[in-house]
Structure formats: structure tokens, C-alpha cells
Structure 1
Amino acid sequence: MASPTVRADGAAAHELPANLLDRLVRRVASDGAETATVPTPFTGKPLATVPLSSAGDVRRAHERARAAQRAWAALPVRERVKPFLRLADALVTRREEILDVIQLETGKARRHALEEFLDVALCSLYYARRAGRLLKPQRRQGMMPGLTRVQELRHPKGVVALIAPWNYPFALGASDIAPAIMAGNAVVHKPDTQTCLSSLWVLDLLVELGLPEDVWQIVVGDPAEIGDPLIGEADYVSFTGSTRGGTAIAEKVAPRLIGYSLELGGKNPMIVMADADVERTARGALRACFTNAGQLCISIERMYVHEDVYDRFVPRLAELVTGMKLGTGLDFDAEMGSLTYERQLEAVTAHVDQAVEAGATVLAGGKPRPDVGPLFYEPTLLADVTTDMDLCANETFGPVVSIYKYRHEDEVVQRANDTEYGLNASIWTKNVAAGRRLAARIQAGTVNINDGYGAAYASYDSPMGGMKRSGVGRRHGAEGMLKFTEVQTIASQHYMDLEPPGNIGYDTFAGFMANGIKLMKKLRIK
């Protein structure tokens, strides 16, 4: 099987300006006693030296955050959104700089770094425009119309601990932090050490745009060292990462009875229906499966193709996968970049090798590419994958997709849902109405029709998250901001108390109230 094309590099050196790095690392909440060297995945060479936070640093960050939060929450919402309204313009102006940072710390292709840039710009702007409406006091219907007046208030949680993953560090940090801060909270944020620079970059920018220094603080370090104080001091925890990690966090916060939201793993299915446009679907599958080298919780790892189109679709997809351009350049030429960690390369290699040894057929890719970079693995398409193979049901989190043939709709629904996960799914068809009916049967928090993941994820007015063991709670939409608030109901009673007036007995009062229920129903008051 032919290998994917390697693009000649010729791009800028894989390093960041020293003055930029110095400015960013000073934003870490750390006494600087210990440091870590962050390499760039493209070459394995050092990119930055980052100070690590101790448990004491994290506790002090919480203290500063709690003090800053009181003053921040006292500001009107219109004042709290101003730095984020300015952010959209500033991001556009400094786009090339942040794309370089994202690429060099993650190893992803520039077109995939662009998705992070767009996500932060658009999501933060969405909430900046709507925070006033979402957070303002709401009138609610009282028990007795005209006599009971009810108001719903939203108060910030306080200090939010946000733990962001390494695969989308810019997007999955800033895009969740923005609504939390606009809601009146302070945030103590732990990005992954390998990919902390993009978070430090946007924090530095927001302070420049008017965000008070201690409202958002970043701590960097090993979860074993700083995880307990990070979670133990917080009023709410937001986590994006593995299902195993999310389960551990839920166990830690349960005794304290504080809120949390978790976006976790996925083994996401793509269904190609009998009437699908072969060329459009095959090209769409490249993005759906291989964005960020498959290191995306909502990317596709399982593909089910109707038997009527299988023999035309699969060879075309294999051809496109084989022709994908791999590269390390800081430009938009490469179609796929590197894996981020050595452990991801080892996990992907182990899944593919074990499947092939057990009888899977390699249709495209299937091996590491050290000639491109130390952590590159070819985009890989496998057929004849069976349930005894590790990659059949377990999340690979790499550029590997297994492909299956199906005949009937009920069959493919059962197979798509036969997983402990339920994060994202994709359906391809010319009949969108039929696609929507099928989508409603899939147990996933988001289902995209004629797209892999972006149509649902980037529709910020609609919630995004997982069913089953893929998560708890949602980001985006009203819930993406309101989850960072405590709701309070204030009700006042007027003219008549909730007991018999005057000398009226309870029997008479009970009859009056019962007839009142019938009247309110008839008049559609209730």
C-alpha cells in the first residue's frame, strides 16, 4: 500500500521568539523553584522552559482568585464582557502569532490550529453578546397569579477550577473560561504542561485588554502534585479529558457536593447511507477522521458503509487517505500533522499492530513515519476489524479508522450505539430528512449530517456534550454559561396569604382552591 505524501518543509524554524516566551512563562502562578522543558513534537527539540506550580502555589492562586472574584462579580455584566468583545479584534490582528504557538506546542497542522483560533474568537464573542440576557434577573410564574411574584437570579459560583486537555489547548481552555469569567467567576486553570503556551498567550492578551490580573490564573504541573489543591479549593470543576480522568474527578468532588461538568472520551461512529454522494462523503471523511491526527474527542473512529455504496466508497476513501500530505511547516499546505506525545504514538502503533496480527486488513497507512518527524503516524484505514481487537471498542485517539459494511438501518443503529461512549456521530446522505430521523436514534450528544463534527460543535447557540460515559453537562448554548452560576428564586406573596383568610374554614378554603385549579386550567393560566 502506498504511503501518504510528505511535503517538503522549507518553513520557518520551529521556535518562538525569546521575548514572547519570557512574557508568557511569567504568567504561570509559580515561585519558579522547579521547571519543565517543553519540546515541539515536530522535531523533539526544546521549545520552552516552563516554571512548575507547587501545591502551595495553587492554594495561593485560589486565595488571590477568591479576593479578585468578589470585586469582579460586583461589576455590571456590561463591564465584564468588554475584554472579550475586544478579544475578537485582537485575535484577528495577532492570528499568525497564535497559530505558530499552537502548532509548535501540539504538532498539529496549521489548518487544524486555525480551528482552535476560530473557536476561541467566535465562542467568546457569542457569550459576550448574550451574557447580559442570559444572566439578567428573570420573572417567573408564581403559584397564585397576581398574588405570588417570583424572580430568578443568577449568582456566580465563585472560583472555578478548569482542567483543559493537551489536544486542543487553546480552544478547550479559553472557550470555557470566557463564559465562566463573564458570569462573574474567577478561574484557576490547569492546562497540560506540554501545551500550556497557548493558554498563557491568551491570558496575557486578555490582561492587556482589561481583564484584572487575578481573575484568571494558570497553574502548571503534575496532577499528582497539584490536583488535590486545585480541586479541593474550588467551588465548581470543569474538566475535559479521558473518561478515566473524569471518573476520578467526580469521585473527588462528590464528598464536597459541588457542581462539575465533564467532557470525556468517544468512539464516534460515521454512517454512510446508501444514497450518499461518494466523492463528497469521502472527502468529508478526511476531516472527520484525521483532523489533528485523530487526537480529537469528537473525531470519527468507526465507519459504517451501506453495502450498496461500499465497493465504490471504500476504494475512493483509501485513495484519498493515501494521498494526504504530511508535514511540519508553519503554513497551510500539510493536511495532517504530528501526534503530540510519545505515549500516543505507542498507543496508536499498538492498536494497529495488534489488529493486523489478528487479521485486520490495512487499506491505507498503517505505520509510523519517523522520516517526517519523531511522532508522525500515517492516516490509517482498516477493514476486517473484529470485536477481539483492542481498537474495535476502545478509543484510539489517533489517525486510525475501522470500516464496516452494513445492510439495514436497524442493524447500523444497533452497532453505532453498541459502545459505552456517546459523544458525537456523523451521517452522510442526500436525504437530510431521512438523516435526521436516523440521527434521533443515535445515542450521542451531537450528530452531524453531511459533516463530521464541526456543524454541531461550532453552532454555539446549541449545547454540546456527551451521553453515557462520554460526559456530564454541556458546553455552548445557555447551559455553557449558566452551569457556572447558582440559581436563586425569590418569591413574594401579596394581598392574600397561603392559608384561609378571615373566618373561612379549611374545608371551604380547600374547595375554593380546588375550584381555582379548574378555573386556571380552563383559562390556561396554568
Structure 2
Amino acid sequence: MTATQPRTETDITVRNPATGQVSGSVPIHDADTVAKRAEELRAAQPEWEAMGPRGRKRWLLEFQNWLLDNADHLTEVLMSETGKSRNDASLEPVATGDNVNFWATHAEEYLSDGHPKAHSPLYRVKRFTTVYRPQPLVGVITPWNFPLAMPGMDVPPALAAGAAVLLKPSEVTPLSAVEFARGWTEIGAPPVLGLVTGYGDTGAALIDNVDYVQFTGSTATGRRVAVACAQRLIPYSLELGGKDPAIVLADADLERAANGIAWGGLFNSGQVCVSVERVYVEAPVYDEFVDKLAAKVRAVSQGADHDTGAMATEAQRDLVARHVDAATAAGAKVLTGGKPTGVGTFFAPTVLADVDQTMACMTDETFGPTIPVIKVADENEAIRLANDSTYGLSATVWTGDPHRGERIARRLEVGAVNVNDALANVFCPTLPMGGWKESGVGYRAGGPHGIRKYCRQQAITAPRIPTQKSELLWYPASKRKRQFALGAMRAMSARGWRRLGIKPRGAR
């Protein structure tokens, strides 16, 4: 991970982007501080691992109680640093609590020893065991768009696995992570969850001191994280950018499709990795759908106690404006919105029609409250254009025939597809969440995989029957022992004449 330029300040001041008011501050931790916290976490981890899944479950469920008991306070903190609406922010504490509960209650099952069957009768004399041992220290780097929910997705399974966790939130929205870590300490849990705050240098130092990295953020930063992890030969998982398509077929319930796409595109002001960022609509229903969608989006209200909130940063607001301006300059039509509101970092919810596939609003990640729509001739054109992207995180398909929707889903080059719904897979820890192409490497969640990813697999073989003093392949070698061993292997795995070592006619 590339280090940033040296900084002279010692703290980061956090402001509410909707109002400009100061919300709080956090220290900038240097490399020595990061290394010290990593060392402290490593010292505490063996005892945490020794508790086993049942012992860890007790603390995780106590943490869930703390999250739910403090949900209102956490919502206020979220709103203060992100400019989110209460409607959007209030989901994060409860969803985090649900996630904690899932990993706490399933860890024992998912981490239990496996006993693979022997692939050959020759190996039935052995007992095979697969053991899941936690990575000692997991580093989690989270983005600014969901400052509580992102730690809530990635930290609990790592803790449930028996790892210690060092969390580094985005410098834009670190206050919710401070509360997250405070809650763990407040319940008296073992000191296996640590927090560091700062800029890129702090993140780079984290990577230098952990055994596994879970990163969520931009594709550009993700590449640097991957290089840094590769240099240390440590495993990593990256969830990166997205440009998620929606396909609306002529047989779809257009009312539901318009409602779902409006929510899927505007939730959290479009600042979601799996936001609906481009829409392809079959020609027979294009005009009707666009009218419905524009009406739904036009009715969305913005503000703290409204539907959705502000952009997290001025830079993100300005990026959205550039995409919209470039599209309109190239001939796209703004049906509603299209401009910053002039208050804080709010950008008006926007629908763009008469868009083409070459526009930046269709090719580059916008990460804002814009929904560009393209008319297509049929489902084949929709699938071709949906796949015409460097990204492959998720997609939605809207149709009156769910079986048709699933068939189309299997043709889309993305990690997840929701049929007649949006964002649904994000809230299901039994499903894997990961991107194809430039949208990431690896997966979060996915049932057993979601916790085993934070583990090192260990294979153990042991005898089932009394052992002899030597084995056929052990030294000293002899022709008789070798022929017997090879003959037995052929007899158990080969077919036809090859079982007997007889070459077929014409073979050399």
C-alpha cells in the first residue's frame, strides 16, 4: 500500500458533510503505535482461541446486546459523520447485531473438524482430519460509506474464528468505528479487538503487522493493498468497486421494478458498492418504465429525517456532478434532479434518459444518487451491455417469470444477482458476497466460508490400525516392494488392461 505524504497534524477533525459542523476528532496513529497495538493483540489472542467457539459465543452475544441497546446512539454518531438520513443510518446497528448473532451461533458448527473420506482403498487405513486454526491477527480496513456496518460484516466472523482483529476505518468517517471498539471494551470482553485511525500510512502499517487483510474500498487502492500483501506473502480478500446493472424485461411488474430500482440506486445517496448504477430496459416498456422511475425518484426527500441524506464528501458530490454534466453535454436528458442542491454535500436524486453505453455515467463508478437508463431491443442486448464492464460485483433482473430471471442471472458476469429485488444478498450471511473482474478478489460471508477464510487449514493423518515398523515405500528400496506398491496403486485406480500394467496395442 503506497504511503501518503508526511503530515504535520496529529489529529483528524471529522465534520458532518450535511451541515459542516464538527462531529469529533481522532488521533493519527503512526507506524510505531500500530506495531505496538498489533503486538498487544497477538499477546491476547492465544487465550481467546483457547476459549473455543462456545466461549467466544458468550462474548459475541453480549456484544450484540450492547449494539442493540445502544442503537439510537450509534445512529446519531453515524448521522453526524456521514450526513446520512436517520432512515438509512438506523439500519446499520441492527444489521450489525444480526450479523454478530449469526457468526456467534454458527461458529461451532462451521469450525468443527472435518473428516474427509479416503479417495482410495489404500488410504482407508488412515484417519484424515481437517482442522481450522485461526489466523493470529486479522487486519480489517473499512470504507467511509458504511462506517458501522462494514466493521459489523467483517470483524465478527474473524473474532468468532478465534483471531484477534485490528480495525482501521476510513479517515473520512472514523467515529462509528471508535464506538464499535468502545462497545467491545465496555462489555469487558478480552482485549482482542483493537483500533487504529489515520490516513494511508496507518493502513500501510496495519498491513505490515497482521497475518490476513480484509479490505473494502476502491479498486485503485485495492490493487496497492494486494501488492503489499503479496510482498509479505499473507492472504487477503478485497471487495472493490462496482457498476451494477439492472435489467428490466417487458414482462416485469413495472411498479415493483421502479420502486426497487429507485431504492437500490438511491439508498445511502447511491453510496453503496452494490447500488444500481445503470439500467437496461426492453423497448416495449421503456417509456412507461422511465416515467414511473422518474416519478418515484422525484418523490424521494432528502435530509436528516427524510428518505436519504448527503454525500459523504465534497469530492464525491463533485464527481457525481461531472458524470451528469458530461452525460447531458453528450445528449442525455435529465428527467429529474441533475444538480447539487446547494446545501452541504447534497446532490438531488437524478434520472438520466437517452444515455448511451460510452458515457462515463455508464462505464465509471459514480457512487452517487444517479440512475441512467438505456433502451434495449431484447434480453440478449441487455445481457451483452450489462456484461460490457470492467466491474462485476452484482446485478438485478426484473421479470414476471422468476425462472427466466434465474436463467438470465447465470449469463451475467457478476458475483451476485437479485431477481425482482435489490441489495437483498448483502443482508444474507449464508450467501457469498464477492466481485468478479475488477470488483474484487475473494468473498465475505457465504456460510462456512465466511469464517473459515480467517483460518489456516491444517491436515492431520493418523493410523486407524496398528502400524508396522516400516512401509512399502520407505527405505531401503527394493524391486519387489516397488512392484508390489505400484501394482496395488494400479489395481485401485486404473481401468482396463492398465490395472495389470499391460500396455494397449500400439503404445510405446
- What are the within-5 Å matches in structure 2 for residues 6-45 of structure 1? 34-45=10-21
Shift of 1:387: 4.2
Q: Is 2:323 the partner of 1:351?
A: yes
Q: Is 2:333 the partner of 1:361?
A: yes
1:139 partner SS = coil
Question: Partners of 2:59 and 2:298 in 1: how far apart?
Answer: 45
Q: Is 2:382 the partner of 1:404?
A: no
Q: Is 2:195 the partner of 1:218?
A: yes
2:13 partner SS = strand
Question: Partners of 1:503 and 1:148 in 2: how far apart?
Answer: 25
Question: Partners of 1:227 and 1:457 in 2: how far apart?
Answer: 25
Q: Structure 1 unaligned segments of length 5 or more: list them.
A: 1-32, 520-526
Q: Write the letter of the residue equivalent to 1:199.
A: A
Corresponding residue to 2:137 among 140, 159, 165:
159
Question: Partners of 2:39 and 2:86 in 1: how far apart?
Answer: 38
| Corresponding residue of 2:82 | 106
| Corresponding residue of 2:402 | 432
Shift of 1:503: 10
Shift of 1:131: 0.5
CA 1:511 to 1:90, structure 2 compared with 1: closer, same or farther past 3 Å?
same
Q: Write the letter of the residue equivalent to 1:418.
A: D
Q: Is 2:382 the partner of 1:415?
A: no
Contact 2:393 2:435 in 1 (8 A): yes
Shift of 1:145: 4.7
TM-score, normalised via structure 1 length: 0.87
Contact 1:266 1:422 in 2 (8 A): yes
1:382 partner SS = strand
Question: Partners of 2:254 and 2:85 in 1: how far apart?
Answer: 26
| Corresponding residue of 1:448 | 418
Contact 2:310 2:347 in 1 (8 A): yes
1:210 partner SS = coil
| Corresponding residue of 1:248 | 224
Shift of 1:89: 2.9
Contact 2:34 2:196 in 1 (8 A): yes
2:138 partner SS = strand
Contact 2:396 2:420 in 1 (8 A): yes
Question: Partners of 2:113 and 2:125 in 1: how far apart?
Answer: 19
Q: Is 2:441 the partner of 1:472?
A: yes
| Corresponding residue of 1:315 | 291
User: Which segment is superposed worse, 267-276 or 75-84?
Assistant: 75-84
- What are the within-5 Å matches in structure 2 for residues 494-505 of structure 1? 494=465, 495=467, 499=472, 505=481
Contact 2:71 2:94 in 1 (8 A): no
CA 1:490 to 1:449, structure 2 compared with 1: closer, same or farther past 3 Å?
same
CA 1:512 to 1:50, structure 2 compared with 1: closer, same or farther past 3 Å?
closer
Contact 1:239 1:261 in 2 (8 A): yes
Shift of 1:505: 4.2
CA deviation profile, 1:24-81 (whole Å, cap 9, x unmatched): xxxxxxxxx8222111122011111222212221111111111111222222221112
Shift of 1:401: 1.5
- What are the within-5 Å matches in structure 2 for residues 91-240 of structure 1? 91-142=67-118, 143=120, 144-213=122-191, 215-223=192-200, 225-240=201-216
Q: Write the letter of the residue equivalent to 2:73.
A: E
Question: Partners of 2:203 and 2:72 in 1: how far apart?
Answer: 33
2:194 partner SS = strand
Contact 2:394 2:416 in 1 (8 A): yes
Contact 1:174 1:199 in 2 (8 A): no
Shift of 1:364: 1.2
1:443 partner SS = coil
Q: Is 2:311 the partner of 1:339?
A: yes
User: Which segment is superposed worse, 148-157 or 240-249?
Assistant: 148-157
| Corresponding residue of 1:390 | 360
Shift of 1:263: 0.1
1:490 partner SS = strand
Shift of 1:226: 1.7
Contact 2:134 2:454 in 1 (8 A): yes
CA deviation profile, 1:221-280 (whole Å, cap 9, x unmatched): 111x32332111111111000000100111111121110000000000001111111111
Question: Partners of 1:273 and 1:517 in 2: how far apart?
Answer: 51
Q: Write the letter of the residue equivalent to 2:329.
A: E
2:84 partner SS = coil
1:43 partner SS = coil
How high is the sequence identity, in percent, across the aligned residues?
Answer: 38
Contact 2:67 2:94 in 1 (8 A): no
| Corresponding residue of 1:266 | 242
CA deviation profile, 1:102-122 (whole Å, cap 9, x unmatched): 111111122221332232111
Shift of 1:210: 3.4
Q: Write the letter of the residue equivalent to 2:392.
A: G
| Corresponding residue of 1:325 | 301
Q: Write the letter of the residue equivalent to 1:157.
A: Q
CA 1:83 to 1:444, structure 2 compared with 1: closer, same or farther past 3 Å?
same
Question: Partners of 2:481 and 2:62 in 1: how far apart?
Answer: 64
Q: Is 2:454 the partner of 1:484?
A: yes
Question: Partners of 2:479 and 2:311 in 1: how far apart?
Answer: 79
Q: Write the letter of the residue equivalent to 1:229.
A: A
TM-score, normalised via structure 2 length: 0.90
CA 1:424 to 1:503, structure 2 compared with 1: closer, same or farther past 3 Å?
closer
CA deviation profile, 1:291-342 (whole Å, cap 9, x unmatched): 000000000100011112112111011011111111123xxxx111100101
Shift of 1:500: 6.8
Question: Partners of 1:100 and 1:127 in 2: how far apart?
Answer: 26
Aligned length: 479
Question: Partners of 1:318 and 1:79 in 2: how far apart?
Answer: 52
User: Which segment is superposed worse, 66-75 or 482-491?
Assistant: 66-75
Question: Partners of 2:214 and 2:248 in 1: how far apart?
Answer: 34
User: Which segment is superposed worse, 507-516 or 122-131?
Assistant: 507-516
Question: Partners of 1:89 and 1:120 in 2: how far apart?
Answer: 11
Question: Partners of 1:294 and 1:134 in 2: how far apart?
Answer: 34
Question: Partners of 1:180 and 1:230 in 2: how far apart?
Answer: 16
1:195 partner SS = coil
1:499 partner SS = coil
Contact 1:460 1:476 in 2 (8 A): yes
Question: Partners of 2:202 and 2:280 in 1: how far apart?
Answer: 43
| Corresponding residue of 1:9 | none
Contact 2:86 2:304 in 1 (8 A): no
CA 1:210 to 1:430, structure 2 compared with 1: closer, same or farther past 3 Å?
farther
Question: Partners of 1:115 and 1:76 in 2: how far apart?
Answer: 31
2:444 partner SS = coil
| Corresponding residue of 2:35 | 59
User: Which segment is superposed worse, 503-512 or 346-355?
Assistant: 503-512
Question: Partners of 2:480 and 2:91 in 1: how far apart?
Answer: 68
Contact 2:339 2:348 in 1 (8 A): yes
Shift of 1:504: 5.4
Shift of 1:388: 4.3
Contact 2:137 2:211 in 1 (8 A): yes
